[in-house]
Structures are given as C-alpha cells and as structure tokens.
Amino acid sequence: MADAATAAELLRQEFAAAVVDTSVVHGIPFLRVTTDHIPLVAHYLHTKPDLRGSLSLLWAVDHRPRETRYEFLYLFTLQERKDWLLLCTDLLDKERLFRSITPHIHAAQWYEREIRDMFGLIPVGHPDLRRLVRHEHWPKGVHPLKKDFRWDTVLGRQQGEYRFLQIEGEGVFQVPVGPIHAGIIEPGHFRFSVAGEPIMQLELRHFWKHRGVEKLFEQQTLSAAVPLAERISGDSTVGHSLAYCQAVEQMAGITVPPRARYLRSLFLELERLHNHLGDVGAICNDTAYALAHAHGGRMKERIMQLNERMTGSRFLRGVMTVGGLARDITARQLDEIAAEVARIEQDFSELEAIIFANASLTDRLETTGVLPERIAWDHAVVGVVGRASGLDQDVRRDRPFAAYDELPVNVARYRYGDVRARLRVRMDEIHESIRLIGEIRAHLPQGPIVAEAGRMPEPGLWAISAVEGWRGEILYFVMAGEQGRIHRCKVRDPSFVNWPAIQWAVLGNIIPDFPLINKSFNLSYSGTDL
C-alpha cells in the first residue's frame, strides 16, 4: 500500500492538468487542485485500491482581509498506513459555487451542507441542499463564519418550514420523536418512517442549539482558547483541550516535556474509563437490566470522584494548557489512582461475567442495530462504532500523540457491528485503559510539566491535530491570525461523522429498539452542534 508521499506523486502524475501545486506542510503532503477537478481527484483517491483514502475532514477558510479568497481543504486518511493527505482548492473574488464531492463520497454530505450554511458557498451537484445548521427561522443571507459577520450580531427571526423526506405508500406512516425528550438530554429530532413495525427510514434533524463556537474561537488568542475547547463537549474535556493544545504547540514550535506527555495520556485514559463504565451500564439499562446499570453508574462515579480529588474537577477541566499541564500529580496521588482503578477492574470483571452469562441480555444485543463495515467505511465512521464494525483504527496507535509512542495500545475490534459488538469494544477498552494507567505509573518520568513559551506563529500558519477521544478521533485545524489571535479554528468531534451512520444502523429494527441502538452509539449533540 502506498504511503502519503507516494500517493501524492501518483495523483500529480494522474491529474497533471488539475494539480496546480504540491508541497509538504507539517509532514502532510498538500496538493492544490483546480476547482473543477476536485470531484475527480477525490473520487480517485477514495476508490483506488492502493490508496483507499477516507475523508476525515472537509472545511472552508475565509482568508479576508489578507486575501480575497475562500479555501476548501479536504483531509484524507489512507486506509492501510493511516497517513494523511490534504487536497485544497480556491474560490477567488466573488465566486460562490464549488463542485460537490458528495456524489462520490458519502462522508462529505454534512460537511458541504455546513459550509453552505456558515459561508454561503454553494456545493454544485450536492443531492440535498436543505439547511443543516441554520434552521429555517434564521434570516436569509446570514452566514456566521464569513469574516464580515460580527460575532455579537443579534439575529431576527423568520418563519420557515423544513421539508422532511417522505416515503409514500399504503400503510406507511411517520413517527416523530423530539427534539424535546422526556429525559434530561440535549435536543435532537428523529423522524421514523414505518410500515408495520420495521423501520424503513430514519431522518435526523439536529443543530437546535447552535452556539457559534468556531466564531467565538476567532475572538480568542491562541494561548487563551483552551477553556473554550474544554466546553465543546463536556464529557470529552481532555480530548478536545488536548487536540487544541497540540495544534497550537505544533505552530509555535513547542516541545512538551516528557512528564507532561505521560500525564496527558493518564488524564485521557481516566476520561475514557469513566465514560465507558457509564455506557456499559446505560446500554444494559435500555434492555431493562437495572442491576448492571446500577453497578456501571457506581463505578463511573468512583472515577469521577477520583478525578475531582486529583484535579479539583470531576470532568478534568483546567488541567490542560498550551505547552503541557496546569497541574502536576504527586507520587502519593499516583498511587491512589493505581489502587482505585485496580479495585474497579476487579469489580468490573465480576460485572462483566454476569453480563456475559445473561442469555436474555445477549439475545437483545446480538443482531440489533447492525452497522455493516462497508457502510461504516463509506461514512468515515470513527472510534468505538467503527471498531465494532471491523474498522481497524485508533489514533493512539496509528498517529501516536502524548506518550502513546512509548505506550503501545492494543486496539479492540469486532466485525459484527451490532449493539453487543459496541458493548464489547467498550469493555475491552476499559481493561486496556487500566493497563495503560499502570504502564504510565511505572514509567512516569520526573521533570517539568510545562514548556517555555514558543514563537509567535505568523499569520496564515496552520496545524492539524488528532486525538483518540473516548468516542473516537477528535480533529482540530487551527490557523493563526494577526497579533497572536485565531484566524480559523475548525473542530470535528467524532459525533459529527457518526450521527449520519445511525440512520443506517436502525433499518429493519423496530422503534422500541432505537433507544438501545442510540445509546450504543452514544453520540454528543453539543459536540456536533458547535
């Protein structure tokens, strides 16, 4: 299989008339392609057997006031070697139309609709040009990520109606659920089409509480935006703040001290641990198995109390900073962490045996909510959901960050793609996180926990960072602006790419199974609706 440099050369030769320029930025091959040829080049990169590039991120940048152009960037991950390759193209002056790649790559669908809403740029050839982020009550012509849109603008409200997709025929009816739910959860609308009991179609309608996070990043300096990153999705505080810090450190030429790298891995595994423990119990709860739910919640609470004792925050806020960490861990605290997770592993192993011995629970989980590997690949699904459907991916192993280059990770993977497979991935990762915490304790170096300040990045300099959060791969693109400010920060939580895939996992199931399937995905609304 080709590496990224070989792939870039292959594309340059195959599309000589389309590739305007080639370079390498932060080790990533970077090809500038003419706008008309982007769909062909992307299709070739995605489908050629030796490349098999998965679309990991697609975003736009408004370069005003420095330059009058919009830039589109397409980040692909090559399937075999997990190398990154970046395509880009430009719209100059007053151009507003760009060629859609969605007819070639399913994973581009939401990205291109988002670009249309936030920048007012139209993906020509896109099969679904309905609004995604800007609901119909938003005024026409309002595109918040354009540089001439002020962050503190107060918008009026207009009337409008979203056109849901319809399946027509005798006996077909729709069941709307949400966006307001009985539980204390975030808003999301799910519209089922059924004929009898099996689900024929599910259509999602999210983005009910858009917060303008990416616009708020543009009001921050590079060093001051960590608290904003922490609050994108509260249960992924470490994952998001670490991904942001790594991007800034790369631009500023900062080398994080070894001790800080190890402790960053420690905090990330603690975050993974308490979320997975809670999810194991919650999945069982949606089958009415209250015993497992109670014990999963009890163990999750013990980790969250441990987090608070170590850092002052149950969600590990205020720990990460550009250059390292804001607080250290003493040897005594490290011993307490190791002892507590060892006790929890013993507890969890007993619960695990009870769960696996329950035949009725197994019957409810197996073959429910199957997401086939091919569909997972087509939609660039990541994290727990992808690994449960057979995708061999984990950023900790594939693109090591923090201390994972010295802490080899065993990647849990199953091929059935059902609720039980997603449960088993979580169970395996709980044991692996506990093992990694033991490795960190055994090999934690002494020394400082924060590096000296780096250079001020020049305007236009950018970096991309990836972290394997507990849900999956978190991506950040950060571009420096004037006087140390942020010109553009693109955030991609794993939920943004996994939500569309759940529409396929429910097909053929019954509506009462949807809460169980949805919980086994356990996606973030706030991480999606920035």
Which residues are documented as binding site?
214, 491
Both tokens assigned to 288 = 């009415």
Angle at 393 between CA 388 and CA 397, to 5 degrees: 130
Q: Is the dihedral of CA 44, 50, 55, 61 positive or negative?
A: negative
What single string gives the DSSP state of each residue in 364-404? HHTTSS---HHHHHHTT--HHHHHHTT----HHHHS--TTT
**What DSSP string describes 448-459?**
-SBPPP-PPPPT
Q: How would you label 338-375 residue by residue, b for 16+ Cβ within 10 Å and e otherwise?
A: bebbeebbeebeebbeebeebeebeebbeebbbbebeb
How far is CA 130 from its chain centroid?
23
What is the 3-state secondary structure of 43-98?
HHHHHCCCCCEEEEEEEEEECCCCCCEEEEEEEEEECCCCCEEEEEEEEECCCCEE
Look-up: residue for tokens 């073959």?
367
Give the CA distances from residue 391 to residues 101, 126, 221, 412, in Å, rounded to whole numbers and listed in that order: 23, 27, 37, 10
Q: How many CA atoms lie within 13 A of 397 on its CB side?
A: 14
Annotated binding site for Mg(2+): 214, 491
